[in-house]
């Protein structure tokens, strides 16, 4: 099924915001209309934005897609108007959802404004990052992992660890654990170095095929055996695009963290029980 055909069968909920929502604070009268629904503007900007997302790879069908997008938005606007007539917007569950949508839109607008002047990294910055992370690029590896998750308890986790230390055979370990009344689940996964947490990557890089490590995860014992390793290095040229994206996003994250730190310091935030400051909740 093509993307265009999928659009034809989509529900109204596939369009996130109703036609009357203006994220740029323009009044409806200031927006160029694609249609008017009982006097309410359906803006050209919204239709063009939705169409651009859906028409990629469907050159020559943009207007047909735009027409279908407009139909869906008009239907959605009609339903929204009926909901307003029925005073559904006064219901508490609808009110907090509207507040959440507005908050998300405004926060995203502020984030885009804050980070719009972030410049891409220089070739020297890209080269420095490439050279500083050989495990991700010049010495990049693909890890084949056999993963077994045991639903252990505080009483039997010690015995489960002993079983792992005595054998590297996951099938045998699983059978033994099941004999202890411990339920287990397993899977084979393949992950690139960039998909692994840094702490885990350092451990796998030092392991030999057949060796295993165990990790406690929420009361469960996660047993991972290194089943195979494949070298897959990337040249600087091949890695440039991904490094550029990462460094740009990292600059944006740093700007966001700095701004949040600043405005948190200026804000008056009062928590109500049982909720608490995030740092306190961790302890």
The CATH number of the domain holding residue 214 is 3.10.50
Position 279 scores a pLDDT of 57
Residue 189 resides in a domain:
yes
Mean pLDDT value of segment 224-237: 93
Nearest to 239 by CA among 115, 117, 125: 125
| Percentage of the chain modeled with pLDDT above 70 | 86
Residue 128 resides in a domain:
no
Nearest to 20 by CA among 63, 111, 67, 83: 83
Helices (H) and strands (E) in the chain, counts: 10, 6
Mark whether 143 and 227 lie in a shared domain: yes
Is residue 164 pLDDT above 80, yes or no?
no
pLDDT digits (tens, 9 = 90+) for 252-271: 999 999 999 999 999 999 99
Residue 258 resides in a domain:
no
> Which tops the pLDDT comparison, 197 or 12?
197
pLDDT digits (tens, 9 = 90+) for 231-243: 999 999 999 999 9
- Which pLDDT band, with edges at 50, 70 and 90, does 283 fall under? very low
Residue 251 resides in a domain:
no
Which residues form the domain of 169?
139-231
- Count structural domains, the chain: 2
Position 28 scores a pLDDT of 52
Residue 270 resides in a domain:
no
Give the domain-ending residue among 86, 107, 127. Answer: 86
Position 168 scores a pLDDT of 64
pLDDT digits (tens, 9 = 90+) for 207-222: 888 888 887 776 778 8
Residue 175 resides in a domain:
yes
Give the domain-ending residue among 86, 107, 124. Answer: 86
Burial of 243 per CB tally in 10 Å (0-12, 13-18, 19+) = buried
- Mean pLDDT over each residue of the chain, to the nearest integer: 84
Position 265 scores a pLDDT of 93
- Which pLDDT band, with edges at 50, 70 and 90, does 14 fall under? very low
Residue that has been written with the tokens 């202890």 in this structure: 180
> Which tops the pLDDT comparison, 198 or 89?
89
Residue 31 resides in a domain:
yes
Mean pLDDT value of segment 169-180: 80
Residue 66 resides in a domain:
yes
Is residue 166 pLDDT above 50, yes or no?
yes
Helical pair 44-54 and 62-85, crossing angle rounded to 10 deg:
130
Nearest to 78 by CA among 38, 50, 29: 38
Helix (H) or strand (E) holding 188: strand 184-192
């Amino acid at each position: 099924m093509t993307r265009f055909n999928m659009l034809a069968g989509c529900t109204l909920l596939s369009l996130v915001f109703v036609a009357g929502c203006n994220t740029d604070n323009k009044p409806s009268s200031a927006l160029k209309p694609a249609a008017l629904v009982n006097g309410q503007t359906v803006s050209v900007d919204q239709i063009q934005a939705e169409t651009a997302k859906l028409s990629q790879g469907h050159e020559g069908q943009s207007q047909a897609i735009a027409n279908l997008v407009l139909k869906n938005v008009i239907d959605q606007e009609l339903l929204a108007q009926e909901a307003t007539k029925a005073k559904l917007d006064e219901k508490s569950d609808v009110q907090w959802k509207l507040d959440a949508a507005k908050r998300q839109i405004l926060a995203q607008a502020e984030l885009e404004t804050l980070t719009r002047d972030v410049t891409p990294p220089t070739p020297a910055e890209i080269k420095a990052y490439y050279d500083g992370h050989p495990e991700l690029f010049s010495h990049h590896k693909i890890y084949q992992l056999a993963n077994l998750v045991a639903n252990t308890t505080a009483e039997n986790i010690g015995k489960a660890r002993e079983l792992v230390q005595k054998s590297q055979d996951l099938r045998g370990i699983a059978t033994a654990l099941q004999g202890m009344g411990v339920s287990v689940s397993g899977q084979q996964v393949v992950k690139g170095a960039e998909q692994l947490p840094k702490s885990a990557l350092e451990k796998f890089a030092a392991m030999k095929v057949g060796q295993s490590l165990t990790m406690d995860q929420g009361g469960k014992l996660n047993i991972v055996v290194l089943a195979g390793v494949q070298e897959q290095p990337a040249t600087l040229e091949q890695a440039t695009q991904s490094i550029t994206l990462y460094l740009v996003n990292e600059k944006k994250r740093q700007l966001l963290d700095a701004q949040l730190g600043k405005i948190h310091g200026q804000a008056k935030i009062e928590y109500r029980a049982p909720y608490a400051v995030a740092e306190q909740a961790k302890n």
